[in-house]
Amino acid sequence: MSTPAPSPAANHVPPRHIGIIRDGNGRWAAAKGLPRLEGHRRGAERLIEVIDACIDDGVSMLTVFAFSAENWKRPLDEVSGLFKLGEWILRAHLSRLEKRKVRLRVIGDMTGVPEFVRRPLEDVMKSSRDNTAFTLVVALNYGARQEMAAAAQALAADVAAGRLAPEKVDWPAVEARLQTAGMPDPDLIIRTSGEFRLSNFLLLQSAYAEIVFTSVFWPDFDKAQLRLALAEYAKRERRFGQTREQLPPSALR
Ligand code: IPE
Ligand code: IPE
Ligand code: MG
């Protein structure tokens, strides 16, 4: 991947790339006596607000965990409801995304995604390819371990075919075969709903990400909540293995 060397001063500017593990839709709904799917619907609408806030605050990439490779284990009606919702939200807000020059990318195993969602996603990926203002990455049927295994398969195939020497299998070679190839690593990972785990999200890419956990359920995560997370991020000192004394003054809190 083409990630430039991480800058120790990076936390004094907005994170270039934010990853969001949007969680708590079901509990938000249960607390209000509503069906789980209503929590997912409100959560999907929140995403549009958060994209706007990211653009306004100078963030250039947002990866949102929409559906994990493990979420297939949920009841069938919830799974199908989630995909229907995904298709609806894309259609309902497409013109807004176009107006704001959002580029759409998807990571995850698209072959497992129902065609009525895959097709419009592919269309928008194609039509938004030249947008540079902001990139929305949807992690759909995504799992970091599955991504790593696929990269290992690709490496093994290249080695077996004699295209790659085993001793040339280094981090850049792995990175180039991940689904995020060409994307900058996330600087900030936000997880909502009070859970303190990564649930198979961007495990390798988050090696040096700052992580912010908030107890707020995703359907309540608004612009103000994003600003709180950004303020928390700005307080962090990113050292990337160096000592404090080695950091440029601009990187110190
Ligand atoms: C996040 O909310 C959405 C997805 C994982 C698809 P949840 O549906 O996981 O909500 P909780 O964790 O049950 O509250
Ligand atoms: C992670 O949330 C997946 C998404 C946000 C899409 P989960 O609700 O599936 O995570 P666990 O099962 O609580 O770890
Ligand atoms: Mg959950």
pLDDT, position 12: 66
| 108 domain residue, yes or no | yes
Centroid of ligand 3 to alpha carbon of 185 (angstroms): 24
Band of pLDDT at residue 6, cut at 50, 70 and 90: low
User: Using CA atoms, how far apart are residues 150 and 179, in angstroms rounded to an integer?
Assistant: 9
Q: Indicate whether 131 belongs to any domain.
A: yes
pLDDT, tens digit, 9 for 90 and up, residues 147-172: 999 999 999 999 999 999 999 999 99
Token couple for 219: 């359907």
Tell me which of 20, 68, 106 to substitute to probe ligand 2's pocket, judged by most ligand atoms within 8 Å of the beta carbon. Answer: 68
Q: Which domain holds residue 77?
A: 17-143+185-235
Tell me the pLDDT tens digit for each residue of 181-237.
999 999 999 999 999 999 999 999 999 999 999 999 999 999 999 999 999 999 999
User: Band of the pLDDT at 2, cuts 50, 70, 90?
Assistant: very low
Ligand 3 centroid to 210 CA: how many Å?
A: 21
Do the domain assignments include residue 5? Answer: no
Give pLDDT tens digits for 140-151.
Answer: 999 999 999 999
Q: What is the CATH number of the domain that holds 47?
A: 3.40.1180.10
Q: Please check whether residue 10 lies inside any domain of the structure.
A: no
Q: pLDDT at position 10, please?
A: 47
24 lines ligand 1 (CB under 6 A): yes
Query: Is 189 inside any structural domain?
Result: yes
> For the chain, what is the domain count?
1
Q: Indicate whether 8 belongs to any domain.
A: no
Q: What is the number of alpha carbons within 13 Å of residue 231 lying toward its C-beta? A: 7
DSSP 22-72: ---HHHHHHHTT--HHHHHHHHHHHHHHHHHHHHHTT--EEEEEEEETTGG
Is the pLDDT confidence value at 123 over 90? Answer: yes
Burial of residue 38 (CB within 10 Å: 0-12, 13-18, 19+) is middle
Kindly state whether residue 40 falls inside one of the protein's structural domains: yes
Identify the pLDDT of residue 235: 94
Residue 13's contacts (CB-CB under 8 Å, 6 or more residues apart) are 58
38 is a domain residue = yes
